[in-house]
Chain A
């Protein structure tokens, strides 16, 4: 992608919908299955990703002219790892109950393909403000996907939302097991593709 001509709003919408990390690009699927068995955990990881994605994009964009092209990849990794360590320390201090359950996945945000891809494809070639919008949009897109998946999984699997019982019993237990994660992601992806094709004349997921 060369220098972008899209407006800020288009950039945000791009990350949220047309290039949604999970439902359209089908990357960073590991956490989308691992932590989405409860709405609270899914949202916590999503918020951490919004922070890291936005900050990484802004930082890389700000120093893009200063970085020597030969070592840009190690520098991207350093910046990503730095922000992940910050969010890891903050969450383990102030949100201990949630961190106890999703701490491991906070640390592997370092290896998220989506964050690295946006740094390389977008932030290293564009100005700070568009990069901020792009990172924020991508992050929020990931957060939305996590909310949708964990909403269905927690509701169907446990009959609860945010740990509060809505329906007694366990309507569809498989949904909170790992297998249910694959089912939920696959079915939701199919559903969003169907909407796209039916109402917006899209061609379905790019399936990269």
Chain B
């Protein structure tokens, strides 16, 4: 290899890297703010649907199911909601701010992950004050289409209403008080119910029942019978 070759190769690579890097930077600069906003809006919209009666959702802390970062929230109901209109002097826009008087916890929401058949299932679970499940929502998953992805369907999600830590158990076949598995997707059903939702409710109970209700004792060994 001559010096000329070396020089040419160097110039080749430098130019390609520069142009490629510039191009990627431009696309990133355009897309990333939109992406960030969409992600935030999606999550907020999902949280509000979990407890529709709530006036406000407030983050209470973080936890780490399956070494992933997840958050939990409290749903607040205000005894009075005052809307104030404020005019911005500079832009002339009218800004509405809501003031919440005497907020009370009416429920909690846990974000969680369940280890499914081929993916981690990303779940939101909402519970009321007595830690009974109100509703659950699947935010994302990679389960088998046609079988495991039935966990997104309403008929399955309905099976979680009013369940507690003790009744969040998957049963094959018909059941009155437990959660019936989806035919052909027992692993996905179990991942949602026992790994995702139940651990979320247990976590909420452990972290929040103390501050809410001191005499309520912590029962249940952590997932010992799963």
Segment of B26-34, B91-99, B108-116 in the binding face: B26-34
- Nearest CB in chain A to that of B184: its residue: A173
Q: Which of B12, B28, B32 is within 8 Å of A67, CB to CB?
A: B12
Q: How many residues of A contact B (CB 8 A)?
A: 28
Task: Kindly identify, within residues 102 to 130 of chain B, every residue whose CB is under 8 Å from any CB belonging to chain A.
Answer: none
B8 in contact (CB, < 8 A) = yes
B24 in contact (CB, < 8 A) = yes
In the complex, chain B residues whose CB is within 8 Å of the CB of A101: 142
> Inter-chain contact count A-B, CB under 8 Å?
65
Q: Which of A67, A82, A173 is within 8 Å of B20, CB to CB?
A: A82
Are A70's CB and B5's CB within 8 A? yes
Are B31's CB and A93's CB within 8 A? yes
A193 in contact (CB, < 8 A) = no
Chain B proximity mask over A81-102: 1 for CB below 8 Å, otherwise 0: 0100110011011101000110
A124 in contact (CB, < 8 A) = no
A157 in contact (CB, < 8 A) = yes
Chain A proximity mask over B1-43: 1 for CB below 8 Å, otherwise 0: 1000100110011001100100110011001101100100010
Segment of A2-10, A71-79, A140-148, A183-191 in the binding face: A71-79
Q: How far is the CA of A24 from the CA of B132 in the complex (A)?
A: 57
- Nearest CB in chain B to that of A87: its residue: B27
Could you tell me the distance in whole angstroms from the C-beta of A95 to the nearest C-beta in chain B?
11
Could you tell me the distance in whole angstroms from the C-beta of B59 to the nearest C-beta in chain A?
23
B167 in contact (CB, < 8 A) = no
Q: Which of A37, A79, A94 is within 8 Å of B146, CB to CB?
A: A37
B145 in contact (CB, < 8 A) = yes
B212 in contact (CB, < 8 A) = no
Q: How far is the CA of A176 from the CA of B57 in the complex (A)?
A: 39
In the complex, chain B residues whose CB is within 8 Å of the CB of A92: 31, 35
Are B16's CB and A89's CB within 8 A? no
Interface of A is mostly: helix
A13 in contact (CB, < 8 A) = no
In the complex, chain A residues whose CB is within 8 Å of the CB of B34: 93-94
Are B24's CB and A71's CB within 8 A? no
- Known: A82-B23, A82-B24, A85-B24. Is A37-B12 also a contact (CB below 8 A)? no
In the complex, chain A residues whose CB is within 8 Å of the CB of B49: none
Are A68's CB and B12's CB within 8 A? yes
B140 in contact (CB, < 8 A) = yes
Chain B's interface size range is: 20 to 34
Task: Kindly identify, within residues 133 to 148 of chain B, every residue whose CB is under 8 Å from any CB belonging to chain A.
Answer: 140, 142, 144-147
Q: How far is the CA of A75 from the CA of B51 in the complex (A)?
A: 53
Are A96's CB and B38's CB within 8 A? yes
Q: How far is the CA of A78 from the CA of B15 in the complex (A)?
A: 12
A117 in contact (CB, < 8 A) = no
Could you tell me the distance in whole angstroms from the C-beta of B57 to the nearest C-beta in chain A?
22
Could you tell me the distance in whole angstroms from the C-beta of A80 to the nearest C-beta in chain B?
11
Are B12's CB and A86's CB within 8 A? no
Could you tell me the distance in whole angstroms from the C-beta of B197 to the nearest C-beta in chain A?
21
Q: How far is the CA of A71 from the CA of B32 in the complex (A)?
A: 32
In the complex, chain B residues whose CB is within 8 Å of the CB of A86: 23-24, 27
In the complex, chain B residues whose CB is within 8 Å of the CB of A38: 145
Q: How far is the CA of A85 from the CA of B23 in the complex (A)?
A: 10
- Known: A90-B27, A157-B146. Is A70-B9 also a contact (CB below 8 A)? yes
Are A66's CB and B20's CB within 8 A? no
Are B20's CB and A78's CB within 8 A? yes
A/B interface sample: 18 pairs, CB < 8 A? A37-B145, A68-B12, A70-B1, A71-B12, A85-B24, A85-B27, A86-B23, A86-B24, A89-B24, A90-B27, A90-B31, A93-B32, A93-B35, A93-B38, A94-B31, A96-B38, A157-B146, A170-B146
Write the residues of chain A forming the contact surface with B, with a CB cutoff of 8 angstroms: 37-38, 66-68, 70-71, 74-75, 78-79, 82, 85-86, 89-90, 92-94, 96, 100-101, 157-158, 170, 173, 176-177
